[in-house]
C-alpha cells in the first residue's frame, strides 16, 4: 500500500502545486427562425415541448460551425488588451498555453523548437508560411480542447464555455466567439436572399436614374422648340416619351420584386438572441487539496487490492499446477 501510495501521492501533489486555476467563461443563447411554412409547425410542436426537425438541424449546425477553424480565424487575429497588454488574441492564447506547458514543448536535452517562440505578426492566413500554418493548426486544436458546447433540443438553448488560466482572456475569447459565430451564421443563412435583394436594388436604382435622365431629355427637347417647330420635330419628343413610359413600367415591376425580395429576406433572416453573456468575475476552478488526498487514498487502495487479488490468483494457479 505504501509503495503504491508514494507515486500516486506524488502525482496528485504535482497537480496540486503546478496546475494553474482555470477560469470558465460561459454564454448561452437561443435561435429564432421564422421561415415561411415552418413557423406554424414550430409553434405547434413548441406547445408540446418539442422542436421542429429543421430547428434541431440548425442547432447542430451552429454547434459544429463554432468548432471550425474559419470561425476561430475571424477573432484570433483581432487586437485586444489582456491584463494591460495589447496583442492579437492568438498571441495571448499562445502565452496562456505556454504557461501550462501545452504549447510546442521539447525535452530539456534537445534544442528549443522555433515554434515555441513563434508569435503571429500578420492577419492574412493566405500569406502564412509553413511554420505559421502549423502554429495556427496547433493553436486551434488546443482551443477546441478548452471549448465546450451544449444545446438542448427541447428548449433550443445553446451554451458555449471556454476554460483558460487567464480570466480576462477567457472572457474576451468567449464573447468574441459568440459575436463572430452569430454574424457568420446569419450572413451565410441569408446569403442567397441578400444577393437577390442587392441585385434588384441595383436594377431599381439604375431604372430610376435612367428615367430621370429621360425626363431631362424630354424637357430639353420641348425647350428647344421655342413655339416654332414642324411635325417631324415631334418625333424625338414622342420617342423619349415612349421610353419614359416603358421604363416606368419596368421600374414598377422591379420595385414590386424588390419589395417581395425584402420581405423574403426579412422572413429568412434568423435571430440569435443572447441570454447570458459572460460576466466577471468568472467561475474559478482550482485543485482541491482535500479531494486530491481522497483520490490518492482511493486509487492507491484500489490498485493495491487489484495487485493482491491478481497475486493470489497467480499463486493459486502455481500451486495447482
Which cell is 68 given?
Answer: 471550425
49 with 176, same domain: the answer is yes
Model-level pTM? 0.66
Does residue 294 form part of some domain?
Answer: no
Q: What pLDDT sits at residue 141?
A: 93
**Domain end: 238, 268, 298, which one?**
268
215 with 254, same domain: the answer is yes
275 with 242, same domain: the answer is no
From residue 199, how far is each of 187, 192, 203, 249, 288 by CA, in Å?
17, 11, 6, 18, 61
Does residue 48 form part of some domain?
Answer: yes
126 with 218, same domain: the answer is no
97 with 208, same domain: the answer is no
175 with 205, same domain: the answer is no
CB atoms within 10 A of CB 175: 18
Does residue 80 form part of some domain?
Answer: yes
CA 148, distance to chain mean position in Å, is 13
Q: What pLDDT sits at residue 114?
A: 66
Does residue 293 form part of some domain?
Answer: no
| Total structural domains within the chain | 2
Average pLDDT of the chain?
Answer: 79
Q: What pLDDT sits at residue 38?
A: 47
Does residue 44 form part of some domain?
Answer: yes
**Domain end: 268, 299, 316, which one?**
268
153 with 253, same domain: the answer is no
What CATH code is carried by the domain that includes residue 136? Answer: 3.30.1890
Q: Is 275 left (phi over 0), alpha (psi -120 to 50) or beta?
A: alpha
Which residues of the chain fall short of a pLDDT of 50?
Answer: 35-41, 43-51
Range of the domain at 179: 20-190+269-286
Does residue 4 form part of some domain?
Answer: no
Does residue 159 form part of some domain?
Answer: yes
Q: What pLDDT sits at residue 37?
A: 40
Q: Of 37, 34, 21, whose CA–CA distance to 189 is shortest?
A: 34
CB 8 within 8 A of CB 298: no
123 with 208, same domain: the answer is no
- d(Cα 110, Cα 150) in Å, to the nearest integer? 41
Does residue 292 form part of some domain?
Answer: no
- d(Cα 76, Cα 93) in Å, to the nearest integer? 9
113 with 212, same domain: the answer is no
116 with 214, same domain: the answer is no
113 with 228, same domain: the answer is no
- The residues, ordered by sequence, that sit 6+ positions from 82 with a Cβ below 8 Å of its Cβ are 89, 92, 166, 168, 169, 172
Q: Is 133 left (phi over 0), alpha (psi -120 to 50) or beta?
A: alpha
179 with 239, same domain: the answer is no
Amino acid at each position: 500500500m505504501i509503495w503504491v501510495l508514494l507515486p500516486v501521492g506524488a502525482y496528485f501533489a504535482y497537480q496540486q502545486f503546478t496546475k494553474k486555476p482555470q477560469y470558465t467563461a460561459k454564454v448561452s443563447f437561443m435561435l429564432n427562425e421564422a421561415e415561411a411554412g415552418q413557423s406554424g409547425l414550430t409553434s405547434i410542436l413548441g406547445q408540446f415541448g418539442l422542436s421542429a426537425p429543421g430547428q434541431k438541424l440548425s442547432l447542430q449546425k451552429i454547434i459544429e460551425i463554432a468548432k471550425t477553424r474559419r470561425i476561430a480565424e475571424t477573432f484570433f487575429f483581432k487586437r485586444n488588451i489582456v491584463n494591460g497588454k495589447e496583442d492579437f488574441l492568438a498571441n495571448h492564447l499562445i502565452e496562456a498555453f505556454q504557461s501550462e506547458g501545452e504549447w510546442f514543448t521539447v525535452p530539456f536535452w534537445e534544442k528549443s523548437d522555433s515554434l515555441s517562440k513563434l508569435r503571429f505578426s500578420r492577419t492574412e492566413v493566405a500569406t502564412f508560411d509553413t511554420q505559421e500554418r502549423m502554429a495556427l493548426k496547433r493553436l486551434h486544436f488546443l482551443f477546441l480542447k478548452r471549448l465546450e458546447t451544449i444545446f438542448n433540443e427541447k428548449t433550443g438553448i445553446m451554451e458555449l464555455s471556454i476554460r483558460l488560466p487567464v480570466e480576462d482572456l477567457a472572457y474576451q475569447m468567449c464573447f468574441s466567439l459568440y459575436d463572430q459565430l452569430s454574424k457568420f451564421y446569419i450572413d451565410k443563412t441569408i446569403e442567397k436572399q441578400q444577393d437577390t435583394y442587392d441585385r434588384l436594388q441595383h436594377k431599381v436604382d439604375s431604372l430610376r436614374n435612367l428615367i430621370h435622365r429621360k425626363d431631362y431629355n424630354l424637357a430639353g427637347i420641348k425647350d428647344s422648340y421655342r413655339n416654332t417647330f414642324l411635325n417631324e420635330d415631334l418625333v424625338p419628343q414622342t420617342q423619349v416619351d415612349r421610353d419614359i413610359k416603358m421604363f416606368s413600367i419596368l421600374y414598377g415591376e422591379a420595385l414590386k420584386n424588390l419589395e417581395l425580395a425584402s420581405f423574403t429576406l426579412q422572413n429568412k433572416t434568423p435571430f440569435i438572441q443572447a441570454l447570458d453573456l459572460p460576466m466577471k468575475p468568472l467561475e474559478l476552478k482550482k485543485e482541491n487539496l482535500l479531494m486530491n488526498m481522497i483520490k490518492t487514498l482511493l486509487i492507491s487502495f484500489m490498485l493495491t487490492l487489484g495487485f493482491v487479488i491478481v497475486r493470489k490468483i497467480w499463486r493459486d494457479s502455481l500451486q495447482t499446477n
